[in-house]
Amino acid sequence: MVEMSAEPPGPGLSTLSAMVATEPTTAPDPDLTAAEVAWDLEPLLTGAPGVEDATGTGPERVAALLAEAERRAEGLADHRGRVAALDAAGLAGAMRELATVQELIERAGSYASLWFSTNTADAERGALLQRVREQGTAITTRLLFFELEWAAVDDERAEALLTADELAFCRHHLRRVRARRPHLLSEPEERILSEKEVTGRSAWARLFSELTSAIEVDVDGDRQPLMTALSRLSAPERDVRRRAAEAVTEALRPGLRTRAFIFNTLLADKATDDRLRSFPHWLASRNLDNEASDESVEALVAAVRARYDVPQRWYRLKARLLGLDRLADYDRAASLETDDRQVGWAEATRIVVDSYASFSDELAGVVRRFIDEGWVDAPARPAKRGGAFCAYTVPSVHPFVLLNWTSRMDDVLTLAHELGHGVHAYLARDQGIFHHSTPLTLAETASVFGETVTFNRLLAATDDPNARLALLAEQLEGGIATVFRQTAMNRFEHLAHTARREQGELSVEQLGELWAQTQAELFGDAVEVTEGYRSWWSYIPHFIDVPGYVYAYAYGQLLALSVYRRYEQRGAGFVPQYLELLRAGGSAPPEELAAIVDCDLADPGFWDGGIDIIEAQLAAAEQAARDAGRLGA
């Protein structure tokens, strides 16, 4: 059972309604900025297997974790050449020791990465992150033989071993290792690729992160972090949005060629990896990692592209609501709120806790722990990594959430979203390190579900037609961004990877043209793609960190909407099934996990069903606009 917080229950619906309808908050500035909401990374450094808790600095204790991992890896080296001869008990013992090595490395890596993410300009933090990557890679490289030898075991013997109860904690992981067998190289080749990764892809990704985190935007004489400036695109006043967009474009300009070079280098690096590993196209390796067939991903992308009329219909409606003939790209996020009020941290957390409690007291208890026990870092600071994420870390500790809080209502939904990731990771901790996390295709399920619960809670508490329209618009735009815009980003990646392989290095202008082309397909004639917007691909980390990642957002959103529909149909009786899904982590293929909540991912019409839900939200927003008298005669 999840330990429940002693914090009293959150407010009821009447209180939530008052929150939405009241005048702008008078909360003190630290509450609006979430200035005191910082995470405590200490748990990553304590209680590690085989490491005595020390009182040294963080870097010194990270070194102790890696030293213990190195010691254990030396012991595992005795299995070289003997993996095929292991019986079930022997294989289970070796896998448990491998799990311990992986935990030690991931504790060290999580600490270094999270410490760095809050101040990417700090040289000490950057040096520690690089040192951990180098040492961690050296340790895992020594153990490459184990997976290679396991992959080489003949199918009949492997299947016989995998039926043993002793291997339940790593069974699916071992199956996934064997699924990569056609793309594995010899051990010397794998060692070279692994060791060069530290000074190759991961080093370029770190440089990109440092460069984008250091970008400051001069908005009307006020220098702001990039993420803070981008939040101004939701301002109700068009001139504010336009000036913010122009300022962002200007801030992106100085380092644009450098970021384009980084992207080009990583495009070429991936092409080399794919050629060496015999992957037929640029997305094939990501699909394999996601446990998704090429055909299912192609069907997803095709289904979404075929329904681009949905976002275009919304953007035309939004232009009318804003009194414009046509939106520009910087108008898409414009708020329909009439007062544009700010939301303090205390109010936001009350809303989210109460929303989760309306579904499950158990989940609400986990959410309270994130808020109360230093599992969240919220303030927007100079040099802090942009955006928001949840780091799973290791099952023996707990997840951590990073935000860039700007005290807007959409930040409340972002908080609910990231805490969905958090509760998923927390409930799956009993699966152990091999099955703790899911493929990317299922990674958004709990986050979108939690965000949707929170949104519907807010909507039910709102009677004012204009406020309802604003909330519906917020949710609809989230679905459009996650499903349709991420698919357009997938198309940009597809064109960029393909062109790089066929034409060689791509210029800034070529990349801008590919970006504008894929965005124009999404927007149709409903949105003008401005000249400045052509460079905005260049701050998006997903293209750099995890090539091919973005389609998983659409996959996860449509799956999550279908899961939420099951909840609407069944009510409280659905809750145990949903919690079972979260607790399962990544212990089975996506199709089996989705079946827990009665979703059939093999059904070609599955994606259209999720898109229909978004279209229904659009119809509700159109009705709300009429009810609010915003469309005229």
Q: What is the pLDDT of residues 167-194, one digit of tens each?
A: 999 999 999 999 999 999 999 999 999 8
Q: Is the pLDDT of residue 21 over 80?
A: no
Domain ranges in the chain are 42-199
Going by DSSP bridges, is the β-strand pair 389-391/400-405 parallel, antiparallel, or unpaired?
A: antiparallel
Q: What is the pLDDT of residues 378-430, one digit of tens each?
A: 999 999 998 899 999 999 999 999 999 999 888 999 999 999 999 999 999 99
Q: What is the pLDDT of residues 548-604, one digit of tens each?
A: 999 998 998 999 888 988 898 899 999 999 999 999 999 999 989 999 999 888 787
With contact defined as beta carbons under 8 Å apart, do 487 and 554 qualify? yes
Please, is 36 exposed, middle or buried when counting C-beta atoms within 10 Å of its C-beta (0-12, 13-18, 19+)?
exposed
What confidence category does residue 52 fall into, taking pLDDT thresholds of 50, 70 and 90?
Answer: confident
Q: What is the pLDDT of residues 270-297, one digit of tens each?
A: 999 999 999 999 999 999 999 988 988 9
Q: What is the pLDDT of residues 525-555, one digit of tens each?
A: 999 999 999 999 999 999 999 999 999 989 9
Rounded to 5 degrees, what angle do the CA atoms 127, 392, 347 make?
A: 105
Instruction: State the CB neighbour count (10 A cutoff) for residue 53.
Output: 11
480 DSSP assignment = I
Q: Is the pTM of this model over 0.85?
A: no
| Residue located via tokens 């990594």 | 385
Q: Is the pLDDT of residue 2 over 60?
A: no
Q: What is the pLDDT of residues 64-114, one digit of tens each?
A: 999 999 999 999 999 999 999 999 999 999 999 999 999 999 999 999 999
Domain 42-199 has CATH 1.20.140.70: yes
With contact defined as beta carbons under 8 Å apart, do 581 and 469 qualify? no
With contact defined as beta carbons under 8 Å apart, do 5 and 368 qualify? yes
